[in-house]
Structure formats: C-alpha cells, structure tokens
Amino acid sequence: GRTFPNREIAHFLSRLAVLATSCRQRREDDFESTSWWEFIDAAEMSPAYRKHLARSTQSLVALRPEDGSARTVGSIYLQLLFGQLDPDRPAERVLDGPTSDVWLDPWAAYLRDQGVTIHTDAPVTAIESDGERVTAVVVDGERATADYYVAAVPVEVMADLVTPELERAAPSLSGTRRVDTAWMNGVQFYLDRDVELATGHAVFLDSPWALTAISQRQFWADHDPSERSNGGVEGVLSVIASDWDTPGIVYDKPGRECTREEAVAEIWAQLQAHVGTDVLPDEARVTHLLDPELQQGEDGLRNGSPLVINTVGSLHHRPEAGTAADNLVLAADYVRVETDLATMEAANEAGRHAANAVLSRSSVRARPVQTWGLEEPSVFDPLKRQDELRYNLGLPHPGEASHDAWRLARSIAP
Ligand SMILES: Cc1cc2nc3c(=O)[nH]c(=O)nc-3n(C[C@H](O)[C@H](O)[C@H](O)COP(=O)(O)OP(=O)(O)OC[C@H]3O[C@@H](n4cnc5c(N)ncnc54)[C@H](O)[C@@H]3O)c2cc1C
C-alpha cells in the first residue's frame, strides 16, 4: 500500500512542475546530466516514495532511477500523466490481436506489394567504407552495393559494425559504443482460462524481477486463441521481467544466472505471489513461450536482444538519423529523436527522419514524410518561454528557489 505523506506527494508534483515548465535547452543540458533519483530527491524520502515514484522506472523501461536521466524519465512521466488527465488522449494503447496477425504480417505483405524483397536470416556482417561514404555491406559473405544504406539494426550490433573507416565517414557513430542497454525480456503463458488481471498493463511493483503483465484476450476482439489450439487455450498472459540482477523468490538467484526453465518457473511464482494461486493455479498453464533471444550459456543466460536505456548523459551519444556519410542513414530506436525512449514510436520516428534524409540528399522529388514529437499541453508554453530567457541569462528555473529552501530546511532539520 501507499503510505507516503502528502508533503512528499506535493514535493514530487513540484519537481514535475519545474520539469513541465522548463525550456528545451535546460532539459537537454541540466536535466539530461541529472539522474531521476537525484532530481526527485528520492534519497531524502520515505521508502514508499522511492518504491512508487522512483523505482517504477525499472518495471516500465528496465531503467534504474539512479541511472536514468531526469530529462527522459521526467518527460515520459509527464506524458503518462497528461495521458491520464486528458480525456481525449488514451492513457495506453495496445494491439487488438497477436502482433504477427495484426501488424507484422500485413506490414511485410504491404512492403512486398510495393516491390520490396525481404531476405530473412541474412545478417549484415560488415559495413565497408572508404572513410567518406559506405561502399558496400557484406551479407552472408557476399558484398552488396546500393545507392543508399539504411542501418536499422540494434545499437549493440551497429556498434560492432563500426570500423575506423566508417567512423571517419560518420563520426557520430562513435556514440553507439556509449549507449547502454539493459535486459527486458518476456514470457507468454498460454492458459486454459482467461484471467483478466487488469484492463491494461498490470505493474507488479513488489516483484523482485520488476514484472509487468498484460492479459491479451480481452483486447483481441477478432482473434480467439482457442481456435488455434483445439480449444485448449482460452487466455494469453504476456509477462515482462525488467530486472535480471535481483535474486528471485524460488531459486534465490538473479535471472541472468538461471536456466531458461528456472526463469519461467520464477516468473510464474512471482505472479502467483501477487495475485494468488486461486487466480493463477498451476493447472491453468497449458504451455508457455520464453523469449528465444534468451539463450543458455555456460554460467547462465545470454541475451541476444537487450533494450536501449536512457542513462544520464546518453542523449549526447545518440547519433541523428542522417549521418555525415551522405549515403548512410540510421533508422532505429537509439537514434536521437523527439520520442526520447527506446520504443517502437522512437524507431518509427527515426525511420521517418531517415527517409527524409535520403530524400533531401537524392534527386528524388517527393514530399517529405511527416514527423512529430511528444506533445505537451500548450498552457505551459508561456512559462517555458520565460524560462528560456532565464536560461539564456544563466539564471535558474524559478521553481528551484523553493527547492533550494527545501534543501536548506532539510539540512537544518532532517
Ligand atoms: C520485452 C519488450 C517489450 C517492449 N514493449 C514495447 C511496447 O509495449 N511499446 C513500444 O513502443 N516498445 C516496446 N519495446 C521496445 C521496442 O520493441 C523497441 O524499441 C523497438 O522494437 C526497436 O525497433 P528497432 O527497429 O530499432 O529495432 P528492432 O525491433 O530490434 O529491429 C532490429 C532488427 O535488426 C535485425 N538484426 C540484428 N542484427 C542484424 C544484422 N547483423 N544484420 C541484419 N539485421 C540484423 C534484428 O533481427 C531485428 O529484426 C519493448 C521491448 C522489449 C524488449
């Protein structure tokens, strides 16, 4: 339960108000170099404040509040808050069917229809460069050349593909080595019953592995899992674990050190510990699918697909979509875009900027693709403009005066 005093809620809201009314430059300079933990003074607050208002970042984006930039976490917090307060904006959007059915397969079909040839199981093993441009990519030992190259691979893969020549051609790629990643992997439990849990995502704040879950069936209007399973499966529970470093409750070891089977058993046990075995009895389980990117290594699991995290200062390492190599663009979630969080939206926004970079560099005459950033209510605009003036004069945000007074009072009477 929540047991933090009202003055702590007021303090948290005052910090959010400072963020909401700060100009862009202050956010990018000052708040990007401050952790969320520091920004909201979590160290000074009650355990409940830390758990509910600081540590929730771990469950949502696999980011420890001590590591996450105040700019990123705060901006996303504001988005979540605005989404909940504004009746015209959905607080959360989920797919209305299995991802392959309602998204990936139709998308691949559309691309093929447009003349795209998709080669699967064809990893790029090298990007060749003469120090000015990309000259070829190597796929399965074969060199392939093109007018333009769109790198849409994960950041850790891109970092490994950057050679000294490529870095000379596109210096911003050096930042890919400094972007951090964390483990955030999921398991789907196929159940013989539909267990709704919550009408959206459920966050298990007390679970050592920072679990979140969504019960899918309620959103799948036209997709009946029982039809695909001869009636055996009535419910699908997707669960994500975002902390693979904290020991669990069954094997007393972190997820990284578990086997695949142990990880699944641990996640199931942590769910049961929260909702009860009457809601999720063992016999409800028909089968499960653990993220195949988690592979068994000698001393635990290896993760083939970690998630980009926005640690303090990481904004400055993230390259823009258009690189200095005029035939190389980047379209992935680590690219520096307005959607400041590793998400499908960020990857999509990067893809749009990549397309526009190609258009502006080529002789193709076409209208640029539309792009958009995160929206914040315009009511804050005058205060942001005022703060911009103050920032340019080297002055602190007006809200920092009361923060300084609060700090002083704490130091006198902690
Ligand atoms: C468990 C989990 C839950 C998430 N939930 C959400 C959510 O609810 N909403 C949301 O918006 N985001 C969510 N995300 C984040 C989102 O999935 C990613 O940010 C997004 O998929 C990034 O897109 P991308 O195109 O940059 O990279 P990816 O989707 O990772 O695509 C990169 C592709 O490159 C391929 N590849 C890798 N190496 C090579 C190579 N050498 N050569 C060629 N191809 C290669 C990979 O196979 C992959 O297909 C979640 C992430 C995780 C891990």
Q: How far does residue 355's CA lie from ligand 1's centre (Å)?
A: 19
The one-letter code for the residue type at 346 is A
Q: How confident is the model at residue 413 (pLDDT cuts 50, 70, 90)?
A: low
Where in the chain are the domains?
Answer: 6-90+377-412, 106-179+311-336, 184-303
Pocket around ligand 1: residues whose beta carbon is below 6 Å from it?
123-124, 152-154, 157, 184-186, 240, 307, 332-333, 342-345, 347
Q: Residue 189 region, left (φ>0) first, then alpha (ψ -120 to 50), else beta?
A: beta
**pLDDT band for position 93 (cuts 50, 70, 90):** confident
The preferred substitution site among 139, 244, 333, 348 for testing ligand 1, maximizing ligand atoms within 8 Å of CB, is 333
Q: What mean pLDDT comes out for the span 202-214?
A: 94
Ligand 1, atom 19: nearest CA belongs to which residue?
Answer: 343
123 CA: nearest ligand 1 atom? 42
- Residue 414's pLDDT is 62
CA distances from 342 to 154, 239, 347 (A): 11, 18, 7
Query: How many of the other CB atoms lie within 10 Å of CB of 73?
Result: 28
> Residue for token digits 């019953």?
193
C-alpha count within 13 angstroms, C-beta hemisphere, residue 180: 17
For residue 88, the model assigns a pLDDT of: 84
User: Selecting from 3.30.930.10, 3.10.129.10, 3.50.50.60, 3.40.50.920, what CATH number does the domain 106-179+311-336 have?
Assistant: 3.50.50.60
Distances (CA, A) of 213 to 23, 271, 285: 35, 9, 16
Q: How does DSSP classify residue 322?
A: B
pLDDT of residue 120: 93
Q: Average pLDDT of the chain? A: 94
Q: 364-406 pLDDT, tens per residue? A: 999 999 998 888 999 999 999 999 999 999 999 998 878 877 7
CATH entry 1.20.140 includes domain 184-303? no
Confidence of residue 304 (pLDDT cuts 50, 70, 90): very high
Respond yes or no on whether ipTM tops 0.95: yes
User: How remote is the CA of residue 154 from the centroid of ligand 1, in Å?
Assistant: 7
Q: Which residue has the CA at smallest separation from atom 13 of ligand 1?
A: 343
- Residue 91 alpha carbon to ligand 1 centre in Å: 23
Tell me the CA–centroid distance for residue 142 and ligand 1, in Å: 25
Phi then psi dihedrals of residue 182, to 5 deg: -140, 170
Structure tokens at 46: 């009650």
Q: Which of 99, 100, 153 to probe ligand 1 with, by most ligand atoms within 8 A of CB?
A: 153
pLDDT of residue 60: 81
Q: Quick: pLDDT tens for 320-358.
A: 999 999 999 999 999 999 998 999 999 999 999 999 999
Alpha-carbon gap, residue 400 to 396, rounded angstroms: 7
- Ligand 1 atom closest to residue 335's alpha carbon, by position in its atom list: 26
Neighbours of 301 (CB within 10 A): 24
Q: What is the pLDDT of residues 349-360, one digit of tens each?
A: 999 999 999 999
Q: What is the pLDDT of residue 113?
A: 98
> Is 89 a residue whose pLDDT tops 70?
yes
Would the pLDDT of 101 be above 80?
yes
Report the 10 Å Cβ neighbour count for 93: 9
pLDDT reported for residue 2: 59
Q: Are 338 and 346 in contact (CB under 8 A)?
A: no
Of the segments 17-21, 57-61, 76-80, which one has the largest average pLDDT value?
Answer: 17-21
Q: Distance from the CA of 89 to the center of ligand 1, in angstroms?
A: 26
